[in-house]
Amino acid sequence: MIKLLGRQTSGNVQKVLFCLEEIGVPYTREDYGRQFGNTQSAEYKALNPTSKVPTLVDGDVVIWESNTILRYLAATKAEGLTGATPAERTEVERWMDFVLAAINPGYLAAFKEAKLKPEERSPGYAAAEKDLADQMALVDAHLAGRDFLALGKLTIADIALAPILKRCMDFPITRAPSENIARWLKGIEARPAFQTATGAKPAASAA
């Protein structure tokens, strides 16, 4: 049986839980994270030298980095969650790389500082907030007229971005309305797999 190590409140763990629930394969999850004092242990570092979560154990296979875990699960358990050809897979995986390269810097800054008073924020926060708003506008424009990010169906691109963009939508930052992201998230949040993974309730309206 697959074992997932990581706290459910982590956005990166939620990605993997969302995928596992969609696939419907048996798995167990164990709480790991700094607040549990166990990711710095020698035993955990032997599995994941970064001391971060999640880590997935599938028999003798041990994988860390959430997007890599998603690619593995799609390749081995549910090929329908990715593209059928190398070209189609690029349409999926570009968004997975995008969330790491383009969304994450502003996301992490907002996660740490958005609720602080302006005078308590770091000097680079304003630029990071603007960049996050710009990247969200890019995703919003792409989703115009689309229910999914790629290939007209749920893929690991949606699974990778949804938990992160859901949090971005809740940050008190200055940004244009993200009506297409809100509509897309409403569809994602209606999925039982996402609700189980994140504890989210279905979205009531666009924002």
Range of the domain at 169: 82-191
Domain-located, residue 205: no
CATH of the domain at 152: 1.20.1050.10
Q: Do 19 and 107 fall within a single domain?
A: no
CATH of the domain at 45: 3.40.30.10
**Dist. CA 203–CA 187, nearest whole Å:** 8
Structure tokens at 23: 């696939």
**Dist. CA 175–CA 28, nearest whole Å:** 38
**Dist. CA 190–CA 193, nearest whole Å:** 9
- 8 A C-beta contact, residue 1 and residue 26: yes
Q: Is the bond leading into 163 cis (omega within 30 degrees of zero)?
A: no
Q: Do 98 and 16 fall within a single domain?
A: no
Q: Do 96 and 34 fall within a single domain?
A: no
**Dist. CA 157–CA 141, nearest whole Å:** 16
Q: Pairing state of beta strands 27-30 and 55-58?
A: unpaired
Give the pLDDT of the chain (207 residues) as one tens digit per residue: 999 999 999 999 999 999 999 999 999 999 999 889 899 999 999 999 999 999 999 999 999 999 999 999 999 999 999 999 999 999 999 999 999 999 999 999 999 999 999 999 999 999 999 999 999 999 999 999 999 999 999 999 999 999 999 999 999 999 999 999 999 999 999 999 999 999 865 444 333
Q: What order do you get walking across the sheet with 55-58 strand by strand?
A: 27-30, 2-5, 55-58, 61-64
Q: Do 99 and 185 fall within a single domain?
A: yes
Q: Which of 71, 37, 61, 62 shows the shortest CA–CA distance to 51?
A: 37
